[in-house]
Chain A
Amino acid sequence: MHAIVCIKQVPDTTEVKIDPQRGTLIREGVPSILNPFDTYAIEEGLLLRERFGGQVTAISMGPPQAEEVLKEAIAMGCDEGVLLSDPAFSGADTWATAYTLAWAIRRIGTFDLILCGRQAIDGDTGQVGPGIARQLGITQLTYVFKIREIDFQRRRVCVERLLEEGREIVEAPLPALLTVLKDINQPRVPTFMGMRRARRAQIPVWSASDLAKEGADGRFFGLEGSPTRVVRIFNPAQREGRAEIIEAEDIGQAANVLAERLLAEKVV
């Protein structure tokens, strides 16, 4: 069994604040962390390895410091990590990111499953997983909250997906790409045994030319390869003003007044 987990290093957005005077992001001391949704993907890979044996490889695209999250993935239990890092990769939108990761996965070789977290907490798009699946021509199964059955001989996987209306049970051939939800499992914490391994681990760094040798088209990496561009960053509007407090002789009257107001607002 070979599972590949795509992970990302992100700023801890729960720590990000807005400067009330200037209305700008305050980034002081915001640490970089492993995208929390990715820990569930890593754990799911490790659980599969516990059941079936095999290997779990973590892969990430980012600046050199993204090696930290690959080491964390190894400390959790992943067998290997691969870092895609090259100035040519920077500024990539989701299309270019998926393109780059897909080529790296081709370079890694054969695999049974690709696991991704549901989305990254900085971009919040959830598009890279489907993008990779499309690039590689494999089935994508998103919003997975349970792997019901997986059969590496028959090459089938059956999952439960959580959609707005309920749960969908769907079966697909392997290899497949799964994006998993929070709470699909309880991710393990790096133990001292894992930390030892992570310390010794050598993480190869692949560059744009490494992927070009495989056949990738360098024009499709990074900012140059991104169909979308950010033209502006600004702060969300804050609401002003206080409530109209409805006062009346008694509660019955107040309720009546409120009901009338709400009917006038056409919300009922």
Chain B
Amino acid sequence: MPLLEINREDCIGCEACIEVCPFGALRLDEEGKAVVNELCTACRACLDACPVDVLSLPEVEWVRRPEQDVYQGVWVWIEQFQGQACPISWEMLGKGRELADARSTSLTACVLGDGVESVAKETVAYGADRVFLVDDPSLSVGRTQPYARCLVYLAEMYKPEIFLLGASSRGRDLAGAVATELHTGLTADCTGLGIDAETGLLRQTRPAFGGNIMATIICPEHRPQMATVRHRVFEMPQPDPTRQGQIIRQEPLLSEDEIASKVLDFIPQEGEVNLAEARVIVAGGAGVGGPEGFEPLRKLAEVLGGAVGASRAVVDAGWIAYAHQVGQTGRTVRPDLYIACGISGAIQHLAGMRTSRIIVAINKDPQAPIFEVAHYGIVGDFFQVVSALAEAFREHLSVKDC
């Protein structure tokens, strides 16, 4: 039977619920009352829309069971690539610290790799109270099977209450396998994590429907409560090299022979700064006039240690390669600083960068829509402004260095 319950008597047939249901599970019957069919997925979108409160979904019956108290601690998987920790892991640790403090518990990290003791030490500096280190040649390259075995073993042994992983490709791949094995709940791509004051549960917030709605999710019964988090959602904590923490070595669970997959090769991405990782992006749009227009942008990006981005229009026009495209079919980015040069602010481009921390718009048209989302702007010819900006930063930054 469908999950949604409707109080027919009090339904006023206003159709508000019908309009918001993303699955088309609701309609009015002959008597003008809302009825629901099997398409209902209990997504809860209709509950808020109903002005007369006649809709209800089975309340999540959650009673705190003593067995669950056994699960304690906030854990974070530290992703590393070729022996270097990935920045997303530090962001997770920072958030993990906050959650651990809210739960009055400790923060543990899991470091898997080959020759990654230094990463384990760094992990302590970034806030972990305890680090499980599995250091073995069989783990030098991330592979689902051995990595999942380690994490599953550790989780079953030490029973964390919460386990966070970065939502990188590797992280999502691994989290899916681990959560399934542990028979627990996993919420992907969270943009918000918090501890519910009343229940102590982890509240996980994430976008759905292509980002058109936000959903808050809990994992009431199963443990650990698992979540993956997108890059640049949480702040990067400051490391404290004087911090003390426990590093516990763990033997790998599988020998190389027991591991089914083999990584044969790795071909790094050509050259430039990875758009997805960049803290600063200097992007050009149609207003830069042509491929030559990207020269001053490149120079500014270099001074700022950033990457060059582009709107779809100029990528389509062939002025710059697709790897630089921001928005729509290109990348979604969330740098600290996004400088939009000669970009009018077409809606597709905005979708790709509007959650950047600070947006600067440089455009000769003061009416350009980009100014609606920018924090700062200069109206003028981009070439002059960008060159002047590069100069200004060169001065300021070199002054800072001495």
- Which residues of chain B are within 8 angstroms of A161 by Cβ–Cβ distance? 169
In the assembly, what is the distance between CA of A26 and CA of B212, in Å?
Answer: 10
Q: Are B218 and A234 in contact (CB under 8 A)?
A: no
Q: Which of B20, B179, B337, B354 contacts A24 (CB 8 A)?
A: B20
In the assembly, what is the distance between CA of A170 and CA of B146, in Å?
Answer: 14
- Which residues of chain B are within 8 angstroms of A173 by Cβ–Cβ distance? 260-261
Annotate B3-28 by CB proximity to A: 1 below 8 A, 0 otherwise: 10000000000001011111110000
Most A C-beta atoms less than 10 A away, residue of B38, B265, B384: B38
Q: Are B218 and A228 in contact (CB under 8 A)?
A: yes
Which of the segments B100-108, B122-130, B309-317, B392-400 contacts the partner chain?
B392-400
Q: Are A91 and B3 in contact (CB under 8 A)?
A: yes
Annotate B90-128 by CB proximity to A: 1 below 8 A, 0 otherwise: 000000000000000000000000000000000000000
Q: Which of B1, B188, B377 contacts A125 (CB 8 A)?
A: B188
B40 interface hit (Cβ, 8 Å): yes
Question: Which A241-261 residues have C-beta < 8 A from chain B?
Answer: 242-247, 251-252, 254-256, 258-261
Q: Are A95 and B183 in contact (CB under 8 A)?
A: yes
- Which residues of chain A are within 8 angstroms of B384 by Cβ–Cβ distance? 251
Check A140/B177 contact, CB under 8 A, given A166-B268, A230-B42, A235-B213.
yes
Which of the segments B44-52, B155-163, B247-255 contacts the partner chain?
B44-52
In the assembly, what is the distance between CA of A98 and CA of B170, in Å?
Answer: 19
B380 interface hit (Cβ, 8 Å): yes
A209 interface hit (Cβ, 8 Å): no
In the complex, how many angstroms separate the beta carbon of B143 from the nearest chain A beta carbon? 8
B262 interface hit (Cβ, 8 Å): yes
Annotate B35-60 by CB proximity to A: 1 below 8 A, 0 otherwise: 00111111111011100000000101
In the assembly, what is the distance between CA of A134 and CA of B184, in Å?
Answer: 13
Check A245/B45 contact, CB under 8 A, given A124-B208, A125-B188.
no
Annotate B113-155 by CB proximity to A: 1 below 8 A, 0 otherwise: 0000000000000000000000000000101110010000000
Q: Are B262 and A259 in contact (CB under 8 A)?
A: no
Question: Would you call the interface of chain A mostly helix, strand, loop, or mixed?
Answer: mixed
In the complex, how many angstroms separate the beta carbon of A35 from the nearest chain B beta carbon? 12
In the assembly, what is the distance between CA of A24 and CA of B183, in Å?
Answer: 34
Chain B residues within 8 Å of chain A by Cβ, number: 110
- Which residues of chain B are within 8 angstroms of A243 by Cβ–Cβ distance? 359, 361, 371-372, 374-377
In the assembly, what is the distance between CA of A98 and CA of B375, in Å?
Answer: 44
Question: Which A182-230 residues have C-beta < 8 A from chain B?
Answer: 223, 226-230
Check A124/B217 contact, CB under 8 A, given A25-B209, A169-B267.
no
Chain A residues within 8 Å of chain B by Cβ, number: 91
In the complex, how many angstroms separate the beta carbon of B119 from the nearest chain A beta carbon? 16
In the complex, how many angstroms separate the beta carbon of A168 from the nearest chain B beta carbon? 5
B342 interface hit (Cβ, 8 Å): no
- Which residues of chain B are within 8 angstroms of A121 by Cβ–Cβ distance? 209-210
Residue of A nearest to B305 (CB): A268
Q: Are A139 and B145 in contact (CB under 8 A)?
A: yes
Residue of B nearest to A234 (CB): B214
Most B C-beta atoms less than 10 A away, residue of A127, A129, A242, A266: A127
Q: Are A91 and B42 in contact (CB under 8 A)?
A: yes
- Which residues of chain B are within 8 angstroms of A234 by Cβ–Cβ distance? 48, 213-214, 216
Residue of A nearest to B25 (CB): A63
B244 interface hit (Cβ, 8 Å): no
In the complex, how many angstroms separate the beta carbon of B184 from the nearest chain A beta carbon? 5
B220 interface hit (Cβ, 8 Å): yes
- Which residues of chain A are within 8 angstroms of B359 by Cβ–Cβ distance? 243
Most A C-beta atoms less than 10 A away, residue of B170, B211, B371: B170
Q: Which of A162, A239, A245 contacts B377 (CB 8 A)?
A: A245
- Which residues of chain A are within 8 angstroms of B183 by Cβ–Cβ distance? 95, 227
Residue of A nearest to B380 (CB): A251
Residue of B nearest to A24 (CB): B20
Q: Are A142 and B22 in contact (CB under 8 A)?
A: no
Check A227/B23 contact, CB under 8 A, given A164-B277, A236-B214, A245-B378.
no
Q: Which of B2, B16, B185, B385 contacts A93 (CB 8 A)?
A: B185
- Which residues of chain A are within 8 angstroms of B18 by Cβ–Cβ distance? 27
- Which residues of chain B are within 8 angstroms of A123 by Cβ–Cβ distance? 208
A87 interface hit (Cβ, 8 Å): yes
A158 interface hit (Cβ, 8 Å): yes
Annotate B154-182 by CB proximity to A: 1 below 8 A, 0 otherwise: 00000000000000111011011101110
In the assembly, what is the distance between CA of A172 and CA of B23, in Å?
Answer: 38
Q: Are A131 and B180 in contact (CB under 8 A)?
A: yes
Q: Are A262 and B358 in contact (CB under 8 A)?
A: yes
In the assembly, what is the distance between CA of A5 and CA of B18, in Å?
Answer: 32
In the assembly, what is the distance between CA of A209 and CA of B263, in Å?
Answer: 41
Q: Which of A13, A126, A232 contacts B216 (CB 8 A)?
A: A232
22 CB-based A-B contacts, threshold 8 Å: A13-B210, A16-B209, A17-B212, A22-B16, A25-B212, A95-B184, A122-B208, A130-B176, A165-B266, A166-B267, A169-B266, A227-B221, A228-B187, A231-B60, A231-B218, A243-B376, A251-B378, A256-B392, A258-B376, A263-B396, A268-B280, A268-B337
Given pairs A122-B210, A227-B183, 17 additional interface contacts (CB within 8 A): A11-B22, A24-B16, A26-B19, A94-B176, A121-B209, A129-B176, A139-B260, A164-B277, A229-B218, A231-B44, A234-B216, A236-B212, A243-B377, A245-B366, A254-B378, A258-B389, A262-B376
Binding site for B on A (CB under 8 A): 11, 13-14, 16-19, 22, 24-28, 30, 32, 63-65, 87, 90-91, 93-95, 98, 121-127, 129-131, 133-135, 139-143, 158, 161-173, 223, 226-236, 239, 242-247, 251-252, 254-256, 258-263, 265-268
Query: Which 4 residue pairs of A and B lie closest in terms of their CB atoms, listed nearest first?
Result: A130-B176, A227-B185, A255-B388, A228-B185
